[in-house]
Amino acid sequence: MYSYFEIQSKVGITKHMGGLKSTKELLELCRVNDSSYVLIIGSGNGTSAIRIHQWTGCRIVGIDLSEEMVESALEKADDGVEFMVGNAEDIQFPDNTFDVVISESVTAFTNKNKSLSEYYRVLKNGGYLGLNEVTWLEEPSHEINDYVQRVMGLKGENKDSWISLLEHAGFKNIINKSYPINQRKQVLGDLELQSIGFFKIWGRFIYYYLKDPEYRKSVHYFAREGIRIPRDFTRYFGYGLYVCKKY
């Protein structure tokens, strides 16, 4: 069976908490401008990276584990924006390369100590790391924790544990802002992130759903799990913006 992320990557769906509004907030906190060289971790279908380039004029490289996602991003890439297959835990760039590293709803699904250490390595001294990652707003019940790990493959962290991980990696001057999930705004934000290539995404979904029995089975499984989401889930499940520097 395909995983939660494989289902999305097959068709080019990208999601992150807070949508493009949270992306803009990260850019401001990381002081991204037209002279910045930015690495996007888990660039997905490329929408965020392309929007960031359009808003700021910065030079961008986006990496993603999924070849399908990279192919989808390359279809709509602008000048000044590159996409390539890459691993957050083993970034194929030299030390001290980037002014800013940004990860939106990706680092939580990695070996965090490895990925954060890599972000630190490829940043220049004085460079910024900006994370938008799933954050427990309250200590979750066993049922909710089990659901998130089983369905999404996610080991959640609270604000304090994220800050501790960043400090352990060597980052300083950590700023945090935590937010609850607003379901209506999140759905609208998700739709905005699919706006570039919307019809291709749904064309691919229909193709895989009809032609690939394993894909169809996986879609049905996650649809059932979505109905069984634990009560009060959104009371615990939120996201945090974390911005810090390398010195």
Q: Which residues contact 160 (CB under 8 A, 6 or more apart)?
A: none
pLDDT tens profile 43-55: 988 989 999 999 9
Type of residue at 110: T
- For residues 120-127, give the mean pLDDT: 98
HEC secondary structure over 6-37:
HHHHHHCCCCCCCHHHHHHHHHHHCCCCCCCE
Separation of alpha carbons 75 and 120, rounded Å: 30
pLDDT score for 195? 66
- Share above pLDDT 90 across residues of the chain, in percent, rounded to a whole number: 61
Query: What fold characterizes domain 15-140+155-201+232-245?
Result: Rossmann fold (3.40.50)
Q: What is the three-class DSSP state of 230? A: coil
Convert the pLDDT of each residue in 165-199 to its tens digit.
Answer: 999 999 999 999 999 987 777 777 777 777 666 78
Task: For the chain, give every domain's residue range.
Answer: 15-140+155-201+232-245
**Which residues lie below 8 Å from residue 178, measured CB to CB, with a gap of 6+?**
135, 137, 159, 238, 239, 240, 241
pLDDT digits (tens, 9 = 90+) for 201-215: 888 889 999 999 999
- % helix, strand, coil for the chain, step of 5: 45, 25, 30
pTM value is 0.90
Contacts of 205 (CB under 8 A, 6+ apart): 11
**Percent of residues, the chain, with pLDDT higher than 70:** 98
